Structure 1
Amino acid sequence: MKALSVRQPWAYAIIHSTKNIENRGWPINYRGDILIHAAKTCTKKAYFEAKEFCQDMGVIIPELISLRRGQIIGIVTIVDCQFSPVASGWGMPEQYHWKLENPREITPIPYIGRLGIFEVPDDLVMEVAA
């Protein structure tokens, strides 16, 4: 199954809250389910900046120490991808906005993330997603 690494607390906001746009500098043609991998790295500075943004969007984010990292934490459906020159809601300016729907939490799976879209063996995912 396809997967995408997302840094915390953004991964948390996708799976557990209202973050329905993933901002990327590149488009995606794929439509369908994708695993959300919570990246292992997250600086305190990046965490606090993201937490403040999330709070402005009405999303309460747990403390950094309690956020899962280095694990696949959920599944979401990519339904669209559009370039936007302006910011709106979760969308940042001059980025491709991947429209996300139907976030589902799964039993966390420790896994090493990668840049870009990567494949995770289906048998690994089917055990916990069922």
Structure 2
Amino acid sequence: MKAISVRQPWAWGIIYSTKDIENRGWPINYRGDILIHAAKKCTKKEYEIASIFCQSLGVSIPELKSLRRGQVIGVVTIVDCQFSQIASGWGIPGQYHWHLKNPREITPIPYIGQLGIFEVPDDLVRRTTAV
């Protein structure tokens, strides 16, 4: 199954909160389900910046130490992709906004992330149970 690595706390926001836009510098033509892999790396500074941004949207994020990293944590459906010069909610201007719907938590799968879209073997994904 297709997957994308997303740094924390953004991965948490997609699966457990209201983050329905993933900002990327490149477009995606794919539409459908994609795994969200919580990247292993997240610095304290990145976390602090994300925390301030999330608070501006009324979202409180968990402490950095409690966020899963280096694991596939859920599935979301990509329904659209548009370039935008306007900031709106989770969308950052000058980025491609991947529009996300239907986030679902799964039993976490330890996995090494990659740049871009990558494949996680279907047999590994099938062993997880939707929560």
Q: TM-score, normalised by structure 1?
A: 0.98
Root mean square deviation, CA, Å: 0.7
1:33-112 to 2 correspondences below 5 Å: 33-112=33-112
CA distance in 2, matches of 1:72, 1:46: 20
Asked if 1:117 corresponds to 2:117, the answer is yes
The one-letter code sitting in structure 2 at the alignment partner of 1:12 is: W
Secondary structure class of the residue paired with 1:124: helix
Moved over 3 A (4+): none
* CA–CA separation in structure 2 for the residues paired with 1:55 and 1:94: 22
Q: How does 1:19-30 map to 2 (within 5 A)?
A: 19-30=19-30
Q: Identity over the aligned pairs, expressed in percent? A: 78
Residue identity matched to 1:61: I
Q: What is the distance in 1 between the residues matched to 2:119 and 2:129?
A: 16
Gaps of 5+ in 2: none
Q: Which residue of 1 aligns with 2:8?
A: 8
Secondary structure of the residue aligned to 1:128 is: coil
Question: Take 2:14 and 2:79, find their aligned partners in 1: how far apart are those partners?
Answer: 14
Give the drift of 1:129: 3.8
User: Counterpart amino acid of 1:93?
Assistant: P
